Amino acid sequence: MNHGTEEMLTLNPKINHIWAYDRKKIQSKKFFNRIKLEFCFLKSIRQQRYDVVIDLDYGDRGAGIALFSGSKIKVGSSSIKSLLVRNTYTHKLPSRKGKHIVEVGLDAIRSLGKKPKNKKLEIHCSLDDEMFVSSLIPKDGFIHLHPFSRMSYKEIDAITISKIIDFCEFDLGYKVVITSAPNNRELRKVDNLLNLCKSKPVDLSGELTLKQTAALNKRAKLFIGVDTAIMHVSSANNVPVFAFFGPSSVSTWGPWDNDLQLSTYVAKGGVQKNGKHTVYSENMDCIGCNQHGCEDTYNSNCLNKLNLDFIKKNLEIIATKL
């Protein structure tokens, strides 16, 4: 996996080792040093003598790593283009079209002739992280809001977010706790957001690690946000989600319900429910376009025209079940 994402898997007792590929570090090196680091990475994997290698991506790099691993059983995509690695896989994954991403991952098990016994998502936090966040959050229940994404075209406008925060605090009676990534773009947007709010939410933006954010989320009554990693963390924590979707496909990336263990989302707009989770998209023909904003502007019209009254009405309904 790419370096920086490994925290999604660390502390999981079912995982023995995580191989993190530090793309940024390797690409910053001069040509021969880069080749050396690439070779050392591949050699380390080959030395493990794995019986089975599963590649859930559909690029040539993953196929090359699988080939170099020396494993007899290799599972991967049937759409590899490179002639050098096209015939790498002994078992081919079926088409992922129209499937939720959880089912896409489990297709690797099915391709080996096995049936998944459990479709529950998990994320594991340390006791230290649990204790650290316990001193930062309200004791009588709160709503966790993570309003931004690494991809800005998935975000809704700050004015709408500020009004949602005020509604949660003044009308629903829940304290809102805000988190964000520790990067300048998101932190500037949080500052603007707080200036627009009439209420005073708890601002923890940029202060927590991914695992600390997961530990905080675990104690929330509700998560509100966009299609981002923290939304999936909330699903793994069994915390109800209210998420806004635009360019990304709800049927593929909608929050997974661990109790239901299946996806009922379809690729259309409006309000959709999947177990305890709720997704809201505008009723527009272009919903789920998978583009980087309208005309690749990193600004999505479908997320800038949300009906605030409709959002409040749905949050009111959700709040009665918390």
pTM for the whole structure = 0.93
In the predicted model, what is the mean pLDDT of the chain?
93
For residues 227 and 249, what is the distance between their CA atoms, to the nearest angstrom? 10
Q: Which residue has the higher pLDDT, 284 or 296?
A: 284
| Contact present, 63 and 71 (Cβ < 8 Å) | no
Q: Which residue has the higher pLDDT, 308 or 7?
A: 308
**How many of the other CB atoms lie within 10 Å of CB of 170?**
11
| Contact present, 103 and 263 (Cβ < 8 Å) | yes
The pLDDT of residue 125 is above 80: yes
Q: What is the pLDDT of residue 296?
A: 77
| Contact present, 263 and 102 (Cβ < 8 Å) | yes
Positive or negative, the CA dihedral 43, 48, 54, 56 is: negative
By percentage, how much of the chain surpasses pLDDT 70?
100
> Phi/psi at 135 (nearest 5 deg)?
-85, -5
Angle at 217 between CA 214 and CA 219, to 5 degrees: 120
Rounded to an integer, the average pLDDT of 195-211 is 97
Structure-block tokens of residue 109 = 């098990």
Rounded to an integer, the average pLDDT of 229-253 is 96
Tens-place pLDDT, residues 50-109 = 999 999 998 899 999 999 999 999 999 998 989 899 899 999 999 999 899 999 999 999
Closest CA to 235 of 211, 259, 216: 259
Rounded to an integer, the average pLDDT of 123-135 is 95
The pLDDT of residue 271 is above 80: yes
Structure-block tokens of residue 211 = 């695992």
Q: What is the pLDDT of residue 155?
A: 94
Rounded to an integer, the average pLDDT of 191-214 is 97
142-146 and 91-92 beta bridge pairing: unpaired
Q: Please report which residue ranges of the chain form alpha helices under DSSP H.
A: 23-27, 31-46, 60-69, 101-111, 127-134, 158-166, 184-196, 210-218, 229-236, 250-253, 308-319
> Phi/psi at 106 (nearest 5 deg)?
-75, -15
Q: What is the pLDDT of residue 27?
A: 86
Domains with residue ranges and CATH for the chain: 6-111 (3.40.50.2000), 127-319 (3.40.50.2000)
Rounded to an integer, the average pLDDT of 37-57 is 94
Helix %, strand %, coil % of the chain (to 5): 40, 15, 50
The pLDDT of residue 209 is above 80: yes
Which residues fall within 8 angstroms of residue 318, CB to CB, at 6 or more apart?
Answer: 222, 240, 242, 278
> Phi/psi at 297 (nearest 5 deg)?
-95, 0
Sheet holding 175-178, edge to edge: 202-203, 175-178, 142-146, 222-226, 241-244, 277-281, 270-274
The pLDDT of residue 140 is above 90: no
Structure-block tokens of residue 179 = 């988190």
The pLDDT of residue 1 is above 70: no
Rounded to an integer, the average pLDDT of 172-181 is 97
For residues 259 and 188, what is the distance between their CA atoms, to the nearest angstrom? 37
